[in-house]
Structure 1
Amino acid sequence: MGVTIHYRGTLDDIGQVEAMEDRVMDLVFSLGGRATIWRSYSAGGDPSRVVRGLIIDLEPGQDTFSLLVSPEGHLMPLFQIKDAESAPFDEPPYCFVKTQFGSVQGHVAIVHILDALGQQYCSNLTILDESEYHETRDIDKLAQKMRFLRTAISTMAEGLREHGLNKEAAEDPNILATRIERIARLVQQKLLAAPDPPDFPADADEVSEEDDGWREPSLEEEVKIMDELRRKNDLRCERMNRRIAEATASGLSVEEAFEVAMREEGFSIPNRDASDQSGEKPEIATSDEPWSESLPQHPFDSDGGLERGETHAAVEQAQAFLSTAIDLVDRASTRSSFASILTRASMDIVGGLVQATSDGMDNNLDRALAITQLKRALTGHAYARGALFGLRREEVITTAHSQELHQQLKPILTTIHELMEAAWA
């Protein structure tokens, strides 16, 4: 019992894998999800048997969405990576993604993404949607079926009422329709329209006409800038990881591969050979200069010590939950994608809280940085809760264990909200 989307197909041109990865990844990040570029190679050393593509966590509560591609160009599920590295499939395998513990718009987003992939990259793509949304585009029917399933699964019903992931059942249909329209627009823009040129680092010396009358950005503007920078950095990081993996597989050293990736992203690489041959040595400042007496003591001086604030209580709670999640995954012999989702989500909670609480909030820039990282922690929290529903549904954990883990997450969520309120105040 569930709501599952099944799909299979073969890329028309395997040479378009990178283009597909970049465009889908941009869309997923724009929708608030996560995407990881995958490269793995045959254990036997055959460079032609490379599995590539994307591993996507589109939203909390959903199963991991696989857009991995076999060496022959077939879309393939995560658990068949080793099989694909070893030998060709007899026929394109079926992939699937379970969506019943996510939101209605999350299910809709996957259907629209697959439709766009069928138009752009995979003309023989077959899609079977158990909710029938793919065939009918009936939002009301999809929402009704998802509500029914949440009520019908008796072992989960109490947990869903207490720790529900979303409130779409009670939302205004117009709000839901607006969200669906946004998904459709983003899919059109990111996957079906002409691709945007790549983002390269801006020249620090460039000043636009709008910058001539400089003013201090508002907090809302700073947050928007930080969110966009984080999205672009996430995209750039995945592209660089892809190039480094491919370059090292071709025989380059890690250092050489890193330089290749840096150049492709538009970064300049210092000429180390030229600086070594010049024989010039940088001047080292001494404390004998008259003006040096007015400088404050360096925090790393032997007598000064580096003062750090105490670890925030929420960070300690998040670290404890991360430790529990890692232990759970280590002990559970499961192929469930929810296990890896839980681990990554727990890391995002810790990372977001550590960075959000490491500095003060003395100005808008500090506050914007904190808000962006708190959003990261909040997203991780939602994914962790969604993963727990999936793990319980697949009987990887018991009802009692699930409730215990939810209780661990409760105070963390409260603190994230309090910190967010303080940052916006």
Structure 2
Amino acid sequence: MGISIHYKGKLNNTTLLQSFIDEVEDISKDMNWDYNLFENDINLPNTSKIENGIISGHLPLRGISINIHPKAERLYFYFDKNGNLRNLISACLSKEDEIKPNSTSIKTQFAPIEIHITIINLLKYIKSKFISNLEVNDEGEFWETGDKLLLRQKFDYLNRALNKVAGLIDEMQIRYNETPDEILARLMEVLKRLNN
């Protein structure tokens, strides 16, 4: 639960990959954003796997991830050999060309609203220069509308809802020897009453 931005697309040309990485790295340096380069050989086969939440093996992706704000998730720009933006986990779980590239996401709910706007502006710049078919699904609707007031209302509404649920959880008294399933069942009943 939270306001997220989902994005997918393909580089206009695979020869733009290094230019894309270099430019986003330069922007990150100028903005004092923490970033990491992901520089695997995209022409080697995918031998990656996930065990206990850790990726091992070779994952044929290249790109950059950015930490724009400590209260937002990282912004990932990882590409396969065909220039498709790839979600790290789905790329790891799939073998070459088995599934269509899906969208990548970043949750911005807990960061200041200006961070959400900054990310949208960065994505618009990337669309204009590197990924002309970039598709963005902005749960805050700022991508589509540019309406900061609407974005603020969505942030505020979700924060109120999360605070209300957190308050209900705090008020629930866990009974001695109550199982997690029993706690969840009681919580679901409280939430149903809240919606009625």
Q: Does 1:65 align with 2:78?
A: no
Tell me: CA distance 1:87–1:27, structure 2 relative to 1, closer, same or farther (3 Å).
Answer: same
Q: Which has the higher contact order (CA 8 A, sep 6+)?
A: 2
- For 1:76, the aligned partner's letter is R
Alpha-carbon contact 1:10-1:92 (below 8 Å) kept? no
Is 1:12 aligned to residue 12 of structure 2?
Answer: yes
Pairwise mapping of residues 18-417 of structure 1 onto structure 2 (< 5 A)?
A: 18-41=18-41, 42-43=46-47, 50-83=60-93, 86-154=95-163
Q: Distance in 2 between matches of 1:55 and 1:156?
A: 32
The aligned amino acid for 2:151 is L
1:11 partner SS: coil
For residues 18 and 157 of structure 1, the distance between their equivalents in structure 2, rounded to whole angstroms, comes to 45
Provide the secondary structure at the position in 2 that maps to 1:43: coil
CA distance, structure 2, for counterparts of residue 97 and residue 26 of structure 1: 21
The C-alpha deviation readout for 1:316-367, integer Å capped at 9, x for no partner, is xxxxxxxxxxxxxxxxxxxxxxxxxxxxxxxxxxxxxxxxxxxxxxxxxxxx
Letter in 2 for 1:26: D
**Is contact 1:72–1:88 with CA below 8 Å preserved after alignment?**
no
In 1, Cα distance between the equivalents of 2:25 and 2:160?
A: 34
Query: Which 10-residue stretch deviates more, 108-117 or 27-36?
Result: 27-36
Unaligned runs of 5+ in 2: 49-58, 171-196
Following superposition, the deviation at residue 70 of structure 1 comes to 1.3
Query: TM-score w.r.t. structure 2 length?
Result: 0.70
- Structure 1 residues 12 and 83: CA distance shift in structure 2, 3 A: farther
How far the C-alpha of 1:71 sits from its partner, in A, is: 1.8
Q: Percent identity?
A: 26
Q: Distance in 1 between matches of 2:79 and 2:73?
A: 18
> Where is the strand percentage greater, Structure 1 or Structure 2?
2
When the two structures are superposed, what TM-score results if normalisation uses the length of structure 1? Answer: 0.34
**Structure 1 residue ranges (4+ consecutive) displaced by more than 3 angstroms after TM superposition:** 41-44, 155-158
Distance 2:38 2:165 in 1: 33
- Decide which structure has greater helix share: 1
Larger radius of gyration between Structure 1 and Structure 2: 1
Equivalent pairs, count: 155
Mapped contact 2:87–2:101 kept (Cα < 8 A): no
